[in-house]
Structure 1
């Protein structure tokens, strides 16, 4: 392949605006990992997804940040199936996405709403506020006052969920160098920081996500981390336990996104997390492959 076409998609848009950009490359069978990494770095988005069609109803997808391959990406998954629908490769219905994090069931609605079932949540450890506050430019008390844990949860990627007092989310000033070193040491992808929304009957929480270890200073919508946050809230704030959750992300970046989550349980009381959202096309670009 001498060149490759990349679809530029904004995922988890709110009323057709905002969202988190992802690149999508279809028919990527002939691309090497070196080429995929080059494309992802050139596109410059937090993630670019590379798609191989396995059958009419199943697709193998790999994800690359500007610096590394990652096992899964929620907003890039949404971008993939939006692109497949828009290009006429699929219609509304149920599909399967194979990733290095596992199998992800997908449902595409006629309205364009795309829903993904995430991996069963895994709790991977906790940290004290004193371990975390300095990474965010905050005092320990801003985290301690929430009386909630700082906990690592994975629904495909390991994110550290960090609560802050209401009114402090936009005051976070991340130390990217220290945060990257902390994440590398503890095998964490990034920090997902949230504050509860107390003056809105629809939104559940506002979030910010930082993953500098993978070249992502901040991103405006993180489907995998919001899936982890859904499980976290259901367990740690029983009074907020709800079947449906709505998360806002990207406010500090001037790029608001909306991530919808649904939590249900199987016959063995194991949680199942569904993340939904819409996407918009932001154009295409063609890259020369001279490597």
Structure 2
């Protein structure tokens, strides 16, 4: 079996920035075990697979090296980029049916715009000493606040604290204790950004995700309320880094960014 593959850097102005995603178009669905094996072989934070179901409509699934996930923003953006630039150049919008409902991506002069379901966080009642353990695991001071949504969210006062974190450290065991597999760390922004963040998901085979669309469905409503702003400029300050323009649209979060083609090839399985 031969399958086409594209590697797209999402939320990037040029290759080697943003978050790389593998995109594999299919005629019909493969066995989940095979898709998982391909994602493990690609060894990127996500590999996206899609199947066409109608004009501008596709079913879409995402796999990390260790498992299928319910939502992935950057690989959705990357999938749309492959369709717009390579497979369906007449399209200006595409609708993806996913585990998280329908996701719509449109293209314009300044890049791609995607809407995702918002996931506003709630205060997290952490066990005694948990915040201190989080700080120790990440090699920094404890977070000032903890919140819970799809992921655990830690809030710090200084964006430099977020930038200076060395990586996920020993965070996996602490997240597991509270039934989380991912953590977003964030602070109000600097350098003309409204907020900054990073994202760790070691139990999914992603020690640090370069730019995470799904975490911004949590951070966007959170910072919109804190800052009193609807549209904001966000920076994920991972070693690769990436820029997003985010808009709090109530039940939906709107993410905008650019994509860059890094590689295309063929899989032999």
Do they superpose with TM above 0.5?
yes
Match of 2:204 in 1: 214
- Do residues 246 (structure 1) and 246 (structure 2) align? no
- What's the secondary structure of 2:80's corresponding residue? helix
Match of 2:111 in 1: 113
How far apart, in 1, do the equivalents of 2:268 and 2:34 lie? 10
- Do residues 284 (structure 1) and 249 (structure 2) align? no
Q: How far 1:45 moved relative to its partner?
A: 0.6
How far apart, in 1, do the equivalents of 2:213 and 2:165 lie? 21
Q: How far 1:81 moved relative to its partner?
A: 0.1
Whether contact under 8 Å (2:15, 2:261) holds in the other structure is: no
Match of 2:189 in 1: 197
Task: Please report the RMSD computed on the Cα atoms of aligned residues, expressed in angstroms.
Answer: 2.1
How far apart, in 2, do the equivalents of 1:41 and 1:165 lie? 36
Q: How far 1:115 moved relative to its partner?
A: 1.6
For the structure 1 residues 284 and 119, does the alpha-carbon distance in structure 2 shift closer, same or farther, using more than 3 Å as the test?
Answer: same
Match of 1:133 in 2: 135
- What's the secondary structure of 1:45's corresponding residue? coil
Give TM-score scaled by structure 2 length. Answer: 0.89
Whether contact under 8 Å (2:4, 2:267) holds in the other structure is: yes
Q: How far 1:4 moved relative to its partner?
A: 1.8
Match of 2:147 in 1: 151
Picking from 176, 189, 203, the partner of 1:184 is: 176
For the structure 1 residues 71 and 15, does the alpha-carbon distance in structure 2 shift closer, same or farther, using more than 3 Å as the test?
Answer: same
How far apart, in 1, do the equivalents of 2:141 and 2:112 lie? 39
Whether contact under 8 Å (1:6, 1:286) holds in the other structure is: yes
- What's the secondary structure of 1:231's corresponding residue? helix
Whether contact under 8 Å (2:13, 2:260) holds in the other structure is: no
Q: How far 1:125 moved relative to its partner?
A: 5.3
Whether contact under 8 Å (1:28, 1:50) holds in the other structure is: no
How far apart, in 2, do the equivalents of 1:284 and 1:14 lie? 18
For the structure 1 residues 56 and 126, does the alpha-carbon distance in structure 2 shift closer, same or farther, using more than 3 Å as the test?
Answer: same
Q: Deviations over 1:150-208 (max 9, x none)?
A: 1122xxxx1222112322113324454x42233334332311112222452xx112221
Q: How far 1:96 moved relative to its partner?
A: 1.6
Whether contact under 8 Å (1:135, 1:174) holds in the other structure is: no
* Structure 2 unaligned regions, length at least 5: none
Q: How far 1:122 moved relative to its partner?
A: 4.8
* Structure 1 unaligned regions, length at least 5: 266-270
How far apart, in 1, do the equivalents of 2:61 and 2:10 lie? 17
Q: How far 1:90 moved relative to its partner?
A: 4.6
Q: How far 1:118 moved relative to its partner?
A: 1.1
Match of 2:161 in 1: 168
Q: How far 1:62 moved relative to its partner?
A: 0.5
Whether contact under 8 Å (2:118, 2:217) holds in the other structure is: no
Where in structure 1 do 4 or more consecutive aligned residues deviate above 4 Å?
Answer: none
For the structure 1 residues 64 and 98, does the alpha-carbon distance in structure 2 shift closer, same or farther, using more than 3 Å as the test?
Answer: same
